[in-house]
A and B are shown apart, each in its own frame.
Chain A
Amino acid sequence: MKKIITIARREFTAMVVTKTFVLSLVMMPVLMVGGLFLMPALSKLSGAKDRKIIVADGTNRLLETMTESATLRNEALAEAIEANSANSEDAMMGTEMFLFEAAPEPVLTDEQRLAISDQIRDGEVYALVEIPADFPNVTEDSPARFVSQDAVLSQARRWLERQLREELRIAKLKELGLDPELVAQSNVPVQLLPTTPFEATDDGSVTSKDGMGTLASMMLPFGIMMLMFMVIFMAAQPMLESAMEEKQHRIAELLLGSVSSTELMTGKLIGNVAGSFVIFLFYASGALIVANRNAWELNLDWSQLPWLLVFQVLGVLFFSSIFLTIGACVSELKEAQSLLLPVWLLLASPLMVWFIAVRDPNGVVASSLSFFPPSSPLMMSLRLSSGQTLPIWHAPLAALLMLMATGLVVVVAGRLYRISLLRTDSAASIKQIIQRFRSASA
């Protein structure tokens, strides 16, 4: 046991006390979610962009209202930027001020269209808007057009569509003899307050907690799942490097002269699991600090924490064993990468269906992936943090299946690890690894 602890201690130190580890620890969340925070900051740094839009208004009435609306919008946006509260769409797309200008003629000739298009290409003008005289009764020959270099994705195009739709709605109401103001007043917004199921408290009262916003209620489980992914990813990768180093630099045989392959692998895995707790603590405490500073109420059921830790330990053991074996089987990182791809796909499979799973944590997709061991850690972490009550047997069964699969993987990996560590040739395909396993079992 002492030998195992000695190996575990070295592995833990080799994993955690490195510049690469500290850098990865910081960089990983920055790369994954930093964009959300980076975009508004960059937008603020670069300031608002002026978008000069030429409008050929065949109706001779819409340009004036559009210009008024745009002015109001520009003023509101300028204030929001100043107060650092630009909405997420503006932030993501970059803040844009719309400056409308009338075209030379309400109806353009082809020569005029070509001339304005050249200005668009040169960057002098952002867009051209053509509104036919009988708008909204447009035809294929004379459609309402938005012409720009990024017309499909343009923020301005979407805003203009909303404005025109509103104008038309008002016009229609007037045609029907209805007062748009009255109609607007009759539109009463209704909100159903989202809350958790009622609970009896110690003082006998019955309460429920205010639910989070829809976005937050989806993002919290997703965040917990991403945390699990990062912990497993960052813990498993050093196992690959460790086995490869010991094989490439011929350290393995010296080690096997001092400890058995089982002791070596066990020590490595224990050190690795300990390292994974450092990662978990770093991210979890970081998330709690951020939530606390921003006064976010995390609707977490802390009683699920032990289950999360169980799935973390099993997930780390499962994937680290596989990574360790792959490291022992190959001679070069290039060979390892091709073998790692299917392993990554298995681990990341819940990320591909997270949106379905988070909306229905007890649905078929979420439940099925919970009982498939490679995807169990991520899917169960998402479900356990979803706030919904899971059938009582789901977590124990998923953990049991994961435990059995982990046991099997550790045994198989141990056998492959022992036979592969001293071989100088590579088993660069799954077929070769299976052959090697058979020869080890014979």
Chain B
Amino acid sequence: MSAAVELHQVVKRFANQTAVDQVDLSVPVGSIYGFIGPNGSGKTTTMRLILRIYQANSGSVEVLGEREGTVADSRVGYLPEERGLYRRMTVRQILRYFAALKGVRNAGPVINDYLERMEAGSWQNKRIDQLSKGMAQKIQFIVAMIASPELVILDEPFSGLDPVNLELIRDVVLDLREKGTTVIFSTHDMSQAQQMCDRVFMIYRGKKVLDGTIDSIRQSYGACTMRVRMSNGDALPEHLPGVIEQTIDKGFTDLMMESDADRPQLLNHLMQLGDLEHFETLRPTLHDIFVRIAKPQPTEMKQEEASV
């Protein structure tokens, strides 16, 4: 089994809305896969489809080599975005309860290990309603981990955490990869995704718009932008071969190119214009790519304004 999760042409509809539209995805075993996308784009629905909380209208979902049945077992750990626990139970009772639901025998040592690691040992006899939001979030994170699953799905695990706790959970996630566990997590923090993920999947309006390693994605998007500067600081002519748009940034001019633009031709053209001081292919950050994809187009903005 080379892929922990395989989605093939998966479609999920709610009433008249298509939340996930013909999505293909292959998550390699032992990788950290980042799910990115604007709010309401279909990240959580895709995760719920993987967990089989939702059933796909069409297409196939294969998780840990199984196409049928429930994946809500000890092999999969899940931290949902909307989190909650029974408020009147203590931390230890909650952890024992979910350990039992996951079929973990002799959960005591595992619970102790995680409580210690999450610096929550002294809270084990506190009731959930006595915990801070961050502390409750850590307990929920332990719930997802308690059965030492092969696949962990974390829906925005870092939201609402202070930098110390964020670091704590980040380290656990990175450790999981070291142990060969597959991790899927969604985030709005692009720098987090860029730092941690082996591969990134971006979904936008239910459709897959990005899928690959960070490098390959940056490579493919970076080729479209050239950063240039003339030594005399002169502005460039309005029309340049293969250039769609020009933007000025800190004394440089960024040229957004057509996808099939001829860069040597542009270079020749610029050299003929004068003394070319700087000519660089820009590699955008994940944040730039995200914004470029998800930013509303001028026509959409006009439609939104009209509807308001």
Chain B residues, Cβ within 8 Å of A250: 80, 82-84
Contact of A257 among B78, B86, B87 (CB under 8 A): B78
Q: Do A6 and B53 contact each other (CB < 8 Å), given the known contacts A254-B85, A257-B78?
A: no
B112 contacts chain A at the CB level, 8 A cutoff: no
B70 in contact (CB, < 8 A): yes
Across the interface, name the chain A residue whose C-beta is closest to B15.
A439
Contacts of B48 in A (CB 8 A): 422
B83 contact set on A, CB distance < 8 A: 250, 254
Let me know if B301 is at the binding interface, CB within 8 A: no
Contacts of A422 in B (CB 8 A): 48, 53
B53 touches A256 (CB 8 A): yes
Q: Provide the bound-state CA to CA distance between A405 and B140, in Å.
A: 39
Instruction: Decide: A253 near B53, CB < 8 A? Known: A258-B101, A260-B72.
Output: yes
Q: Is B80 a contact partner of A3 (Cβ separation < 8 A)?
A: no
- Answer yes or no: A10 CB below 8 A from chain B CBs: yes
**Bound: A312/B59 CA distance, A:** 45
CB of A251 within 8 A of CB of B102, answer no
Q: How far does the alpha carbon of A2 sit from the alpha carbon of B97 in the complex, in Å?
A: 12
B193 in the interface, Cβ–Cβ < 8 Å? no
Inter-chain contacts of A255 with B (CB < 8 A): 101
Identify which of A6, A251, A259 contacts B85 (C-beta below 8 A): A251
Complex Cα gap A6–B98 (Å): 9
Closest to B13 in A: A442
Query: A249 to B89, alpha carbons, bound, how many Å?
Result: 13
Contacts of B240 in A (CB 8 A): none
B102 touches A258 (CB 8 A): yes
Instruction: Give the B interface residue count (CB, 8 A).
Output: 29
CB distance from A222 to the nearest CB of B (A): 37
Asked if B103 is at the interface of the complex by the 8 Å CB criterion, the answer is yes
CA distance A259 to B52 in the complex (A): 11
**Cross-chain contact B15 with A259 (CB below 8 angstroms):** no
Given contacts A3-B103, A6-B100, contact A256 B85 (CB under 8 A): no
In the complex, what's the smallest C-beta–C-beta distance from A156 to chain B, in angstroms? 56
Q: How far is the CB of B204 from chain A (nearest CB, A)?
A: 22
Please pick, from A14, A246, A259, the residue contacting B72 in the complex, using a CB distance under 8 A: A259
Q: Whole-angstrom distance between the alpha carbons of A253 and B78 in the complex?
A: 9
Q: Are A257 and B103 in contact (CB under 8 A)?
A: no
Asked if B97 and A254 sit within 8 Å, CB to CB, the answer is no
A245 within 8 A of B: yes
Which one of A14, A251, A258, A260 contacts B84 once the chains associate, using CB atoms below 8 Å? Answer: A251
B84 touches A249 (CB 8 A): yes
Q: Which residues of B contact A3 (CB under 8 A)?
A: 100-101, 103
Interface residues of A in 12-26 (CB under 8 A from B): 14
Cβ of A10: which chain B residues have Cβ within 8 Å of it? 97
B86: min CB distance to chain A, Å? 6
Q: Would B101 and A259 count as touching, CB distance under 8 A?
A: yes
Could you tell me the distance in whole angstroms from the C-beta of A253 to the nearest C-beta in chain B? 4
Kindly provide the distance from the CB of A266 to the nearest chain B CB, expressed in whole angstroms: 13
Bound Cα distance from A246 to B88, whole angstroms: 12
